[in-house]
Chain A
Amino acid sequence: MAEISANNTIEFELVSPEKLLKSEPVEMVVIPGTEGDVGVLPGHSLLIAAVRPGVIDIHEGGQVRESIFVAGGFAEVSPERCTVLAEEAVPVAEIDRAEAEKRLEDAKQALTKAGEVEDGDTDAAERELKTAEAMLAAASAE
């Protein structure tokens, strides 16, 4: 493991297609990778990971300071920087439960519809369903 940087923080960047959402030093951040959650501390080895729909937790002093929901994307980690490219990002506190539920319903319908048609694009619908589920789960956990 690489040497821990002097001030004990890692630069965390969260970018969505629309804008740069966050760029700040953090003590630890937990990213929902497709193959399990990844905890990133300063001095993490080089890593590129795919991100599943879920919640990014920013930790400080052993506690979660901030939780942000992301709808999948990619993360690039170097010893002093952690960049997450999210397709969609909303702070968990701002998720509207009713809206998330509606999205889940819509996604379910879209999936059944896509399933009926031959060669329907079930992949996209399935992905949307997973995103909606994760969003609702995030909202419920709050």
Chain B
Amino acid sequence: MPNLKDLKVRINSVKSTQKITSAMKMVAAAKLRRAQESAEAARPYAEKMERMVADVGESIGGIEGAPPLLVGTGSTQIHLIVACTADRGLCGGFNGTIIREVRTLAHNLKRDGKIVRILCVGRKGRDGLKRQFEADIVETIEGIGRRGVEFADAQKVAETLTTMFDAGGFDVCTIVFNRFQSAMTQIITSQLLIPFTVPETADDEAGKDSAGAEDTGPSAIFVYEPEEQEILADLLPKNINQQVFQALLESAASEHGARMTSMDNATRNAGEMIDDLTLTFNRTRQAAITRELVEIISGAEAL
């Protein structure tokens, strides 16, 4: 039987843990609302930009000398994986699922004889991948989204990407992040950044649009002002910025959602634990009282 003092200490410690988790839940919920709003508000821009790049790419894609950001370097030997995780833990499976996804991706690529490089956005990703892929991690970018994700953050990541790409650091770039769906569910998404491809969701939408307006179909010929090449040179890096920005926004919203749900669970679990412990505490107390009574009575009888 544990003694009363121990139980009391235990109950108090669980209670203070519960206070912390419930406070974290509140904070996450407040941040989630803001992050969710900005992630959802930014979606139209990212989608429209993607469509525009797809349109321009369509007409220029076949031409020789098309920018490598659009068509790739012609090789697929070196893969860069950008892993978007959080800087902090305590958010359920959020970081774990990303790490697992990156690990599978990297293993598959390595099995096919490719070279894998990993760029970690967020400290937890590096921590999780360090053990297995220490040699492959080229860079870690931390401290993003501490006060909400800003465009400058995305630019920093995108700049790292383009500089590395220009220097021949990789041929194909995939970004792995959690797409925000609701506070409870995040969808793991691997999006090919370089070379440019139209993701399926954007494709669907483009399909719908062209169904409504027949003349904007894929065969449509656009007039460009200035030349396609010039527009593309400007548009492609911006598109990468934007896609990275979107991924970071989605990831931030997902992080807060995941943290909110997991902290909610933790608070509930702590509550259950407190109930259990209180029950044991009361039983022990009762037992102690009974024992004392028995001792007093038997002592009196012996006289």
B-contacting residues of A (Cβ < 8 Å)? 2, 13, 15-20, 33-35, 38, 45-50, 74, 76, 78-81, 83, 85
Q: Across the interface, do A85 and B49 meet the contact criterion of CB distance under 8 Å?
A: yes
Q: Across the interface, do B223 and A34 meet the contact criterion of CB distance under 8 Å?
A: no
Dominant SS among interface residues on chain B: helix
Q: Across the interface, do A48 and B226 meet the contact criterion of CB distance under 8 Å?
A: no
- Say whether B4 faces chain A, with CB atoms less than 8 Å apart: no
Chain A residue at smallest Cβ distance from B53: A74
B184-229: which residues lie under 8 A (CB-CB) from chain A?
Answer: 213, 215-216, 220-226
Q: Across the interface, do A80 and B213 meet the contact criterion of CB distance under 8 Å?
A: yes
The docked-state distance in angstroms from the alpha carbon of A74 to that of B242 is 13
The docked-state distance in angstroms from the alpha carbon of A77 to that of B245 is 25
The CB with the most chain A CB atoms within 10 A, among B42, B45, B49, is that of B45
Q: Across the interface, do B48 and A38 meet the contact criterion of CB distance under 8 Å?
A: no
Q: Across the interface, do A46 and B221 meet the contact criterion of CB distance under 8 Å?
A: yes
Report chain B residues within 8 Å CB of A78: 213, 215-216, 220
Dominant SS among interface residues on chain A: strand
Report chain A residues within 8 Å CB of B45: 15-20, 85
For the complex of A and B, the 5 pairs showing the least CB-CB separation, nearest first, are: A19-B41, A49-B225, A20-B44, A46-B222, A15-B45
Report chain B residues within 8 Å CB of A17: 42, 45, 151, 242, 245
The CB with the most chain A CB atoms within 10 A, among B42, B44, B242, is that of B44
If A17-B245, A50-B225 are given as contacts, then 4 extra A-B residue pairs at C-beta distance below 8 Å, sorted by A number, are A2-B215, A48-B55, A85-B45, A85-B52
- Binding-face segment, B6-14, B138-146, B230-238: B230-238
Known: A16-B45, A85-B45, A85-B48. A48 touches B231 (CB 8 A): yes
Report chain B residues within 8 Å CB of A47: 222-225
Known: A17-B151, A20-B44, A78-B216. A50 touches B221 (CB 8 A): no
Report chain B residues within 8 Å CB of A35: 225-226
- Say whether B24 faces chain A, with CB atoms less than 8 Å apart: no
- Say whether B56 faces chain A, with CB atoms less than 8 Å apart: yes
Specify which of A16, A20, A46, A50 is in contact with B226 (CB 8 Å cutoff).
A50
Closest chain B CB from A128 CB (angstroms): 14
- Say whether B73 faces chain A, with CB atoms less than 8 Å apart: no
Q: Across the interface, do A83 and B48 meet the contact criterion of CB distance under 8 Å?
A: yes
Chain A residue at smallest Cβ distance from B221: A46
- Say whether B38 faces chain A, with CB atoms less than 8 Å apart: yes
Report chain A residues within 8 Å CB of B213: 78-81
Chain B residue at smallest Cβ distance from A38: B225
Known: A74-B52, A74-B231. A19 touches B225 (CB 8 A): no
Q: Across the interface, do B230 and A46 meet the contact criterion of CB distance under 8 Å?
A: no
Report chain A residues within 8 Å CB of B223: 45-48
Chain B residue at smallest Cβ distance from A2: B215
The docked-state distance in angstroms from the alpha carbon of A85 to that of B241 is 14
Q: Across the interface, do A20 and B52 meet the contact criterion of CB distance under 8 Å?
A: no
Specify which of A19, A46, A48 is in contact with B42 (CB 8 Å cutoff).
A19
Q: Across the interface, do A18 and B38 meet the contact criterion of CB distance under 8 Å?
A: yes
The docked-state distance in angstroms from the alpha carbon of A20 to that of B225 is 24
Report chain B residues within 8 Å CB of A13: 48
Chain A residue at smallest Cβ distance from B234: A50
Known: A18-B41, A81-B213. A34 touches B226 (CB 8 A): yes
Q: Across the interface, do B215 and A46 meet the contact criterion of CB distance under 8 Å?
A: yes
Can you name 15 A-B residue pairings with CB atoms under 8 Å?
A13-B48, A18-B38, A19-B41, A19-B42, A33-B225, A35-B225, A48-B52, A50-B230, A74-B234, A74-B235, A76-B48, A76-B52, A78-B213, A79-B215, A83-B52
Chain A residue at smallest Cβ distance from B210: A78
Q: Across the interface, do A48 and B220 meet the contact criterion of CB distance under 8 Å?
A: no
Report chain B residues within 8 Å CB of A45: 223
